[in-house]
Chains A and B, each alone.
Chain A
C-alpha cells in the first residue's frame, strides 16, 4: 500500500478531491495491477460471501465444544418480539444479533469472511447487513464502505498488527471496530477526516483489550466481543458525524495500540493462559474440553 498513515490518505483525498474509498480502490488497482472493474468485482465477491454467511446462519448449530450456538437466534427472537421497546431499539438489536450469529457460524466451522480476522468476522457484517436491508442503501454504496473499511485495516496492519497472538484482542475486535466505524461514517455521508476520526475513537475505546479465549477456542469471549466491536462502531460513527474528534490523532492511537500489544504479557495474547481463560470457570471448561479431544 502506498500509505503509512490514515492522515496521509486524508491528504490524498483533499489533494485529488476524491473520496476515501476511491483513493483506496485506486491504490488496490495499482497494487494488484487490476482494472477498476476487476477490483470492484473482487469486492462484490467478498460482499456476496458476507451476505451468504449472514443468511446461512443455522439457529440449531452448536460448536464442537458445546460452548456457543443459539444466542444469535435468541437475540433475533427478542428484537422481533420487543421492537422499539428494548433498550437499544430494533436497529441496534439487529446489529447485536448479526454479530452473535456470525461469530457463532465461525465457531461452528462454517465459511465466513475474515475481517480482518475470523475471530472478528462478525463486526463488519453486523453493521453493514442491517444498514443494507433496512435503510434502502444500494449495493454500490456498501462496496464503497467496504473499501473504506479495508483502507483503515491496512493502515492498522502496517503500523501495528491485526493478530490476537501478536497484539491482543484490541488488534482483532479493536481493528474490526475501527474499520466498521469508518465504513458507517461513509454510509452516513461523512468526509475523509470524519472517517478517520471515527476509526480513531473506535480503536481508542478498545485499547488494552486482551485476547483470552477460554480453552484456546475462538468462542468465549470472542462471539460476544463481536457485539461490542459492532456497537462501539455505531457510537463512534455517530460521534464523528456529530463533529466530535479524537483528541489523540488516529494514527497515534494506532501506534499506542502497537505499544500496548508489544508490552502485553504473552498470557493475554491468545495462549489461553490468562484473563477469562485463566479463571476457575475457564480452566474447568478447558479441562473438560481437552479431555474430550484427546
Chain B
C-alpha cells in the first residue's frame, strides 16, 4: 500500500470502499471482458447488499463498466448513461459462502457475445481484489500489470509461459496457478514489475494449450 493509497484516492464520495472501490471493480471487469458490455447481472453480498444502494455502489459498479474513473463527476448518473450506451443490468442481493463483506459478482456479456464472471471485493480505502474468475479462485489486485491466462490444465504450460516472459525480459513479481474443480482448465495469474508488449501477449496466445490471454494494465 503506497502513501497515495492512504492520502487518496481523489474520488467522488461518499465511500471509498462502497463507491470508489466499486467503480474500480467495474473497471477491472470491463477490461477482463475485453469488449463493450451489453448485459450485466450483478450479485451484491454482505455490506454491499445491505448498504449498497445508499452508498451508490450500484451506480458506481455500472459507472466502472462504462469506463469511468472513481473521480468522474458523472458517477451519480451512470444508470441513465448505461441506458444511452445500451447496457442492460440487474442487481440481486445474495449471501455468498466465505466471501469478503464487500463483495460483488458480475456476470457480463459483451457486444460480440463474450462472457465472463468476476467475483471481486472492495477491501477498504478504494483498494480492490479479484477473488474468482468464472468460478475459479484467482487472487489479484490489478495494481501491477497482470496477465491472466486461461489454459488447458496440462504439463508444460507454466514453463512455456515463463520462458516467453523471460525471453522478453519481463520480471515476474508473482505467479499463481489456480485449477478449476472440473473441466480440466486452469487460470494462471502473473503479476509483473513492468508493462508487457502487445507482441509478447500474442506470443503467449500462440502457445499450445492456451485458451485466452487477458492483459490488465490499469495505469
Contact = CB atoms under 8 A, between A and B. Distances in A.
Interface of A: 1, 24, 28, 31-32, 42-43, 46, 49, 63, 65, 105-119, 121, 124, 146-147, 149-151, 153-154, 157-158, 161-166, 179, 213, 215-219, 266, 269-273, 289-290, 293-294
20 contacts: A1-B2, A43-B7, A65-B54, A109-B13, A111-B71, A114-B8, A115-B7, A116-B125, A117-B16, A119-B16, A121-B13, A153-B3, A153-B6, A154-B6, A215-B51, A216-B55, A219-B14, A271-B47, A271-B51, A293-B54
B51 A216 contact: yes
A106 B14 contact: yes
What 8 A-B pairs come out closest when comparing CB atoms?
A: A216-B51, A163-B124, A106-B13, A153-B6, A150-B3, A218-B14, A118-B16, A114-B16
A102 B194 CA distance: 37
A118 B53 contact: no
Nearest to A42: B4
A242 to B, nearest CB: 28
Contacts of A112: 10-13
Contact of B20 (A118, A215, A272): A118
A117 B51 contact: no
Given A28-B2, A46-B10, A213 B51 contact: yes
A214 to B, nearest CB: 9
A157 B15 contact: no
A289 B54 contact: yes
Contacts of A117: 15-17, 124-126
Nearest to B19: A118
Nearest to B13: A106
A181 to B, nearest CB: 15
Contacts of A213: 51
Interface of B: 1-20, 46-47, 50-56, 71, 73, 75-76, 101-102, 123-126
A293 B3 contact: no
Nearest to B76: A109
A179 B47 CA distance: 27
B6 A157 contact: yes
A162 B47 CA distance: 16
A118 B3 contact: no
A46 B18 CA distance: 21
Contact of B9 (A32, A114, A216): A114
Contacts of B71: 111
Given A28-B3, A150-B3, A273-B50, A217 B10 contact: no
Contacts of A153: 3, 6-7
A132 B46 CA distance: 41
A293 B10 CA distance: 27
Nearest to A25: B3
Given A46-B10, A165-B124, A269-B101, 10 more contacts: A105-B13, A111-B12, A111-B71, A112-B12, A113-B10, A114-B10, A162-B6, A166-B123, A270-B51, A293-B54
A118 B6 CA distance: 11
Contact of A218 (B12, B15, B53): B15
A272 B50 contact: yes
